[in-house]
Chains A and B, each alone.
Chain A
Amino acid sequence: MAAHRCNIFMLVFVLCGLTYVFVRADIEDTNHVKDAESVAVDIAPKANIGASLRSTKTEDQTQAAEEERQWEATEVKEADRVPDTMQTPDVPPLTPAKDQFQEELVIRPLHSGDIYASFQFRTMWDTDFLRGSKVSHYRLFPKSLGQVISKFSVRELHISFTQGYWRTMQWGQPFLPSPPGAELWVWFQDTVTDVDGAWKELTNVLSGIFCASLNFIDSTNTVQPSASFKPLGLGNVTDQRFLRYAVLPREIVCTENLTPWKKLLPCGSKAGLAVLMKSEKLFHSSFHSQALHFRPVCQDWKCKSTVWELRQTLNVVFDLHTSGQGKREWSLFKMFSRTVTEACPLASSSKVYVDVTDNPQGELFELSPTTPLLSQAVVLGDRRTYSVYDLTNQATFGQTRSLNMLLRWRAAESGDMLRPLLHGERYVAGYGLQTGEIHTLMYNNHPYRAFPVLLLDTVPWYLRLYIHTLTVTSKGRDNKPSYIHYQPSKDRLRPHLLEMLVQLPPNSVTEVTMQFERALLKWTEYTPDPNHGFYVGSSVISALVPSVVAMDTNSTRECPLFSSFFPCKEESSYFMRVYTEPLLVNLPTPDFSMPYNVICLTCTVVAVGYGSLYNLLTRTFQVEEPSPGLAKRLANIIRRLRGVPLL
């Protein structure tokens, strides 16, 4: 019993840790926006974004000589910029903030030669729809969404549409992870009484807004995770009654989903970075994911009042091999078949970042036009350096009045990528149509640190899980989860939900296996193409992963001695979420032309078999008399006429 309680404490501790990180990130985040000097990158809402430019400057002095020029230039440029931004009316530092809009694009060249482009648009909505005051004036915030959110009393809403699977082992970590298909999770306000009803209506409304099949979300694929999906915004309500989570792995994302998404932007796709989003190119890629996150955040660093933040993100990975020419080079035009000519006039900041961390001396690739502006940030536990193009500055566009960054690889082979510390895989084992086994593999690639992960598995009811066959093994030994939350399925009502807190030993693979039996469906429950198979959504692995920066203790990087003795607390671990592949499972499928044959056969069998058996059972058998003589027959005729019994 004591051990059990201890486990719960541990879980609560981890959860508090997570919440702390998020809130912390947000506060810092907001600070940076206000702070006109800082150009710290705010890329991942879940990452701990720490490094301000000031700390960068201290490190600059110890950098190698050839780098000095660049960093000095930054400072000079930065100095120039300060009065600039002070004059721009868009970013009033401390006026009671009204709605705000920011846009940015991060470009990360990947080691495989592919290129990763991530758009983020942030709209701040300074309103208070909760107090019952009806909001009728919308400035930057999309009205269609605002109305829905206030009607259903949504506190947080996260929705993503993804086409493709993020290849962690080749591409590293994404800024915002998302599972293949559509994912939706919502925290409702604690004033909502009928959460299920609100959820049902909300999914239907969102289905209309995004032209997606979200209306297929019902009780059979909705769960209430107890630990994996905690609110990312302000507030400390963690009662899972107000949380709903659903994934549609089968959802196919296309331009019809992109267009309504683009319409939510203040500038639409008319100006600013959104000009680049030409669907023809975005869907000619290896990976496409668009998402929308709505949550409450602090208004300023004092955090006395909250504003609502709408973050729209779009992530694309362009493939080197299918892009046509064999040349290893990328430009904005080649990626999007457009160039940037202006910032969105409504945006308070509009920037393009290019990840140049692996390319300090330009030996890996060549970036043109060069920008003097550099920025450093800790993203996903790694200290990254970015070249920054500020689109609000006319000088960025140069003579041609358009920005078309060109990234040309120098080396034919880019160096080895740092292995991602955590990644997951999933597959179905076995053959035949009766039973099977789901295997989930979780890799901890950290050389010496163990860390706990939360695994969330949602399995539809028609795969009947044998929970007694659940095994968790790492390095060939049984690994007992410290927390298990299992909710069995109910046929045609709700799915299986399994959440586990598992400690992953360093440098290991942890395997979670569970056997299942395939159910026989009713014939109306089969999809129109039952032979394609049935999907099982991705499992979700959430973890606080030890940061690479903290891992870097034995001076592979040159840095001042005084800065590297104690691993810095904020940077020591970061939050990460990894999705595994969805599964495609075949269920026993009847031949649907068969009912006719079966009816014919059954009728025949019944008629022949039952009929003759019934006949045999009910008939009385008598010994046959030899036929009577003529006299007797005559006598019988007479007797029949008289009405007396026959002889």
Chain B
Amino acid sequence: MGLLSDPNRRRALTKLLTRLNAPICVMCYLAGVAWFMGLAFEPFTLRTYMSENAMGSTMVEERFPAGERALATGREFAAHKKKVGGMPVDWLVKTMQSRGLEVFTQSFTRKLPFPDENKERYMVRGTNVYGILRAPRAPRTEALVLSAPCSEGNNNNQAVGLLLGLAQYFRSQIHWAKDIIFLVNEHDLIGMQAWLEGYHHTNTTGGDWSPLQGRGGSIQAALSLELSSDVITSLDLVLEGLNGQLPNLDLANLFYAFCQKIGVLCTIQGKLQRNDWDTTSGYSHAAQTMMLMVLKQASGRPWGDHGLFLRYHIEAASIRGINSFRQYKTDTTTIGRLLEGMYRKLNNLLERLHQSYFFYLMPSLSRFVSIGYYMPAFGLLAVILLLRVSFHLWDNRGFYFYLTPSSPGVLSILTPVVISHMTGVALYTLPILSQEMAVQHFPVSETEAVVLTAIAIYTAGLALPHNTHRLLQGEGTEEGWRVLKLVALLYLAVLLGCTALINFSLGFILALSLVPIAAFITPHTPKALSAAIMVLLSPGCTLLYCVFVFQELQETPVSLQDGWMLFLSVISQGILDHALYGSLVYPLLALLIYPCWLLLWNILFWK
């Protein structure tokens, strides 16, 4: 390591780094983006394979025969649902009991912080019904869960029918080694949250629910089923859960393996797999699939009812039946056989699913990008921040700045930091607190009030902090902004690094937009242009672009007007997700990322 100890060579290195700093940074940025886009290219990715031996080599035969009867049960369920105008609790209890399950119910109430306009709910009151199939000669230590939501309207009746059909069929089998819990949850995720918190006797978000009576030990895996038509063309697998957590890849492999075996079309992100990876359209298809996954993961919200299981270290996925205008149709019996096969194999598990990957991206169902492959893309972006730190730390001769006695006072650095964070706290707390006041004074609904307050505080933050340090100490010094920039750079690097470890997608998207401005912002750049660029690359605008890109990738492009409305609803959903399920994206953005961006904004207007 002569590089560090030999002053000559060290000086050469620092000289190189300081002189070529800007070009190296640009190169790193472009390399990072290129690396990321390359991940979707098939030769660079790995083929999925089953790691868990207990699920791989053992063959199971699927014999579920009663698809038609399951559909009939589904229709009966629909009729009762319509009659009761909600969850037909009594009917479900009776039906499950007659199928030989131990049946329990759980009631819950939840008052949302403000009305949810997407799903039109505010005071939620509901009941979960679940039946436990007790495995013969098993001591109630392990369980599997199959759930189907009881949705409004005519949705998911077939799923409940199939669930009951499978329950009846599974009950007559002798080979179960784990209890199987059949759960019908009302009010989708709110019901699921109530059930899971009841099962684990925790209360993280302050809901109100009755305690559970029956349990089956530690849950090993869970599947959530969504099915709204009698026949389907394909099954879609949804993996993204709360805070961007993903289930073990073996669960996805299992689903894919059985789809292949039984001959069901399967998709991920609603996209079929293509074999023409060497053509441009093939590559762009894979890239789109992967980008969709990245955007969904970055949102940090559960994309299906399975999403909340992941917090409890339960591997879970949602399976969604899709009926499009394709010729090739699959009937309910086949889906039943597929689920039977999956549960038989999960039942064979001797350990928790742990062999395969927990951090991955999927450009298609049969290909995955592991953490070792995608992390360099983020690393290349993050290294820019460190390069800039070195640039501001060393002068051209390789000596440290700021060892001079004219260092700026702590106060002049601390003031903008504190004020930015206060603005962040205001952004986090005020929208919900001030909704009543806003509704009284302006002609808006509660939801609009919350969202518009959030945007107002966000915008007001731009005006507030950049003048503050002058109140205390008069003119800011040249060294003042340099120290502040160093602090901001290190802060951002730590922040993004930690975020990317937990939720790669979120970290990467934030890095894409924040790293360029963090790298090149100084008080000496042209003010108007820089300010425009900074605003365009601020976290809020990034969210707006993400909304448009997401719609574009889903092949449902929206106009500017609709996009704006969508943007508003995404903000309200983010706040709701945080309040209801404990999603961390909103507090992360409001309390940490936004203040960090404000620090950079402060530097731009340093005087």
| Chain A interfacial positions (CB closer than 8 Å to B) | 112, 163-165, 167, 169-170, 180-181, 249, 283-288, 319-322, 425, 427-431, 437, 439, 529-533, 535, 581-586, 589, 608, 611-612, 615-616, 619, 621
Contacts and interface: CB of A to CB of B under 8 A. Distances in A.
A530 B352 CA distance: 9
Given A164-B137, A164-B138, A181-B139, A439 B100 contact: no
A286 B351 contact: no
Nearest to A437: B201
B138 A586 contact: no
Interface stretch (B168-176, B275-283, B513-521): B168-176
Contacts of A249: 139
A439 B218 CA distance: 14
B139 A582 contact: yes
Contacts of B138: 164-165
A439 B201 contact: yes
Contacts of A439: 201
Nearest to A249: B139
B354 interface: yes
A425 B141 contact: no
A619 B10 CA distance: 15
Contacts of B102: 167, 169-170
Given A322-B171, A612-B4, 5 more contacts: A287-B137, A320-B100, A533-B218, A584-B141, A584-B217
Contacts of B202: 429-431
B69 to A, nearest CB: 14
A610 to B, nearest CB: 10
Contacts of B139: 164-165, 180-181, 249, 581-582
A583 B141 contact: yes
Contacts of A584: 141-142, 217-218
Contacts of B350: 529, 532
Contact of A322 (B140, B173, B200, B201): B173
B136 interface: yes
Nearest to B313: A431
A615 to B, nearest CB: 5
Given A163-B137, A180-B139, A431-B311, A531 B351 contact: yes
Given A181-B139, A533-B352, A321 B100 contact: yes
B5 interface: yes
Interface in B339-357: 350-352, 354
Interface in B285-320: 311-313
Contacts of A530: 351
A321 B352 contact: no
Contacts of A621: 7
B137 A321 contact: no
A522 B313 CA distance: 23
Nearest to B354: A531
A283 B141 contact: no
Given A430-B200, A582-B139, A586-B313, A611 B134 contact: no
A321 B171 contact: yes
B1 interface: yes
A530 B141 CA distance: 15
A430 B312 CA distance: 8
B136 A286 contact: yes
Interface in B200-221: 200-202, 215, 217-218
Contacts of B141: 533, 535, 581-584
Given A429-B202, A532-B351, A535-B141, A608 B136 contact: no
Which of B4, B5, B136, B313: most chain A Cβ within 10 A? B136
Which of A165, A287, A582: most chain B Cβ within 10 A? A165
A521 B313 CA distance: 20
A605 B494 CA distance: 20
Contact of A430 (B100, B171, B201): B201
3 shortest interchain CB distances as A-B pairs = A180-B139, A429-B201, A612-B1
Interface of B: 1, 4-5, 7, 100, 102, 134, 136-142, 171-174, 200-202, 215, 217-218, 311-313, 350-352, 354
9 contacts: A164-B139, A165-B140, A288-B137, A430-B202, A529-B351, A533-B352, A581-B139, A584-B141, A615-B4
Contact of A427 (B100, B136, B215): B215
A428 B219 CA distance: 11
B201 A427 contact: yes
Nearest to A254: B137
Q: Would you call the interface of chain B mostly helix, strand, loop, or mixed?
A: loop
A285 B201 contact: no
A6 B174 CA distance: 53
A163 B140 CA distance: 11
B165 to A, nearest CB: 15
Contacts of A320: 100
Given A164-B138, A180-B139, A431-B313, A611 B215 contact: no
Which of B1, B134, B139, B215: most chain A Cβ within 10 A? B139
B589 to A, nearest CB: 24
Nearest to B171: A321
Nearest to B213: A425
Contacts of B215: 425, 427
Contacts of B142: 584
Given A181-B139, A532-B351, A612-B1, A286 B218 contact: no
B180 to A, nearest CB: 13
B386 to A, nearest CB: 17
Nearest to A289: B137
A193 B124 CA distance: 67
Given A531-B352, A586-B313, A286 B134 contact: yes
Contacts of A608: 1
Which of B141, B201, B202: most chain A Cβ within 10 A? B141
A431 B218 contact: no
Nearest to A607: B1
B201 A581 contact: no
Contacts of A583: 141, 217
A183 to B, nearest CB: 12
Contacts of B201: 427, 429-430, 437, 439
A95 B312 CA distance: 67
A583 B215 CA distance: 11
Nearest to A619: B5
A198 B405 CA distance: 79
A616 B137 contact: no
A169 B103 CA distance: 12
Given A170-B102, A439-B201, A285 B137 contact: yes
Contacts of B313: 431, 586
B1 A164 contact: no
Nearest to B168: A321
A619 B4 CA distance: 12
A581 B140 contact: yes
Nearest to A286: B136
Contacts of A164: 136-139
B496 to A, nearest CB: 23
A257 to B, nearest CB: 13
Nearest to B314: A431
A285 B5 contact: no
Contacts of B218: 428, 533, 584-586
A580 to B, nearest CB: 9
Nearest to B199: A427
A573 to B, nearest CB: 27
B218 to A, nearest CB: 5
Nearest to A180: B139
A611 B3 CA distance: 12
A581 B215 CA distance: 10
Nearest to A413: B98
Contact of A616 (B4, B100, B174, B354): B4
A584 B171 CA distance: 24
Contact of B136 (A169, A285, A535): A285
Contacts of B200: 429-431
Contact of B352 (A167, A532, A619): A532
Contacts of A285: 136-137
A180 B354 CA distance: 27
